[in-house]
Amino acid sequence: MPVCKDDIYNKIVKIKRKGLSIMEKQKILIVDDSEMNRALLADILEEQYDVVEADNGIEAISILSRQRTDFSLLLLDIMMPGMDGFEVLAYINKYHWNDTFAVIMISADDSPLNIKRSYDLGAFDYISRPFDSTIVQRRISNTMLLYARQQRLEKIIAEQFHEQEKNNKLMITILSHIVEFRNGESGLHILHVNTITKYLLNQLVQLTDQYPLSKADISLISTASALHDIGKISISDAILNKPGRLTPEEFEVIKTHSMVGANMLLDLSIEQQEAPLVKVASEICRWHHERYDGSGYPDGLKGEEIPIAAQVVALADVYDALISERCYKKAYSHEEALKMILEGRCGAFNPTLLLCLQEIADTLESELMDVSTERETKNIQDIRNKIDYDRLFSYEKYTFLSRKQRDLQLLYIDSLTSVYNRRYYDEHFQGADGIQAMVVIDVDNFKHINDNYGHDVGDIVLQNIAQTVSSCVRKTDAVIRYGGDEFLIIFFSIPADIFEQKLERIRHSVDRLIIDDHPELHMSVSIGGAYGIGTIKKLFKAADNMMYLSKKAKNQVTVCFLDENEDITDNN
């Protein structure tokens, strides 16, 4: 029987397509405790996709923790023993694993409540049993297509954002050069204020939900900060660059720059005035010399009457003015500047922002030094020579001091967790003054972890928790491993209104921890805090009592606020 050429062609095309599909197969993970359900889905999908199976939620989490970027889609059953589909989905959503793959829920129960909960937890779609092969294939292919388009759109948006960031940096650089030629401030001031503003805002959104700022908002405010002193263009050189103290009359002239800057922006065309950058910059220009207690200028605004953008730039402006040399003063050290601001010698600032400043202090010190170094291009050979001589001169002294300090620190550092140890607490804090608050932290179910996973895993848990707690507090605070699975935190200065927020942040951070080899292991802590006036013994006792109250429910924070006459009784 003769062979039709069209039949041969069609067979070749079919073979080529089949080979191509094998090479480009996307990987799908099917999670279902029913072997029959997994087999049905695999039979429907295995020709088009590379199928991997898991028979429970814990196994699925374990697979995804190792190779989640390999998968394009997760088919997830709801009703499973041990860890059901909603718990798996919540875990995936919590750690943003679904940034790289889509999730479709599968279940025989297609009630509106189940479907709504699935979407609320981040599912992309919902397929009901019994399975129809055509519907399953179509729903999955549509999900893959939509998800790929979403990823491409997000990539385009990210590229546009980065391009805008480049333009913003160019504008800031140009403005810094203008400032250099116009007044006695270094051109670095613009760059420094931009950097400080960015770090303060990033810390602020981590610390509190009071100011719901997006990444775009933070970028906008940081960029707009470059215009904060643009009104100084109206001030005469004689006043602006005067080397000595200003007279009261001259200071009144200087104060006009805030209104002048705002009015310059408000004099733009209506269309330009409506631009978000101009709106924010206008607020910053006008109000970056206002103070939280109402003592600033030009309008005497108080507290949250001052826009948060102006509040942050005000603090950034003052900090950099203190650490920078001016024609009328020498630069203060980083430590001196912090002390002056925290003591209120530069005016009153938002207590939450002051806490943010303390928490990013070390980062700012190194970051601003790097910015300054990049701009310092004059006499580079002299600088190199000086550094070489300094290194030769001080190397032995530096090495000796480092060894001495290292040996001293070893006495007070816990060898397992690298935080302070009980000896440090006993020798440094008995009878100590100036302590604002104390916190006692106990690891929940730690005996269960040791008994079921072994002491090596228990040690890893303690190390991770200690590191997490340390990352949530400032360098000026002390984290201490008091004994076993119990930690202390000692705060020397923290505003009362954010004390509990700080402890909740610690609890939440520990709650999100993942141990690499044991992703199914959940860690939590019970936290007790005592804030207020009292001896170290009184604060410890109160915090310990609060911890035991938290431990009754586990994964909780309980705090109390003391006064001088309050009597602390044992509640445990």
Give the separation between CA 57 and CA 522, rounded to whole angstroms: 14
Strands 26-31 and 557-562 come out as unpaired
pLDDT at 180: 54
The pair phi, psi for residue 31, each rounded to 5°, is -120, 110
Contacts of 104 (CB under 8 A, 6+ apart): 73, 74, 75, 76, 123, 124, 125, 126, 127, 139, 140, 143
Looking at this protein, which amino acid is placed at residue 459? D
pLDDT at 169: 63
Q: Which residues of 262-299 are buried (b: 16+ CB within 10 A; e: fewer)?
A: bebbeeeeeeeeeeebbbbbbbbbbbbbbbbeeebbee
Q: What are phi and psi of 488, to 5 degrees?
A: -120, 150
User: Mind listing the domains of the chain with CATH numbers?
Assistant: 27-154 (3.40.50.2300), 184-387 (1.10.3210.10), 414-561 (3.30.70.270)
What interhelical angle do 85-94 and 57-67 show, nearest 10?
30
Q: Quote the tokens at residue 224.
A: 């707009």
Question: Which residues in the chain show pLDDT less than 50?
Answer: 1-3, 5-6, 8-23, 372-408, 565, 567-572
**How far is CA 59 from each of CA 63, 87, 128, 133, 407, rounded to the nearest angstrom?**
6, 13, 23, 26, 46
pLDDT for 427 equals 83
Residue 492 is predicted with a pLDDT of 78
Distance CA 159, CA 465 (A): 36
pLDDT score recorded for residue 55: 92
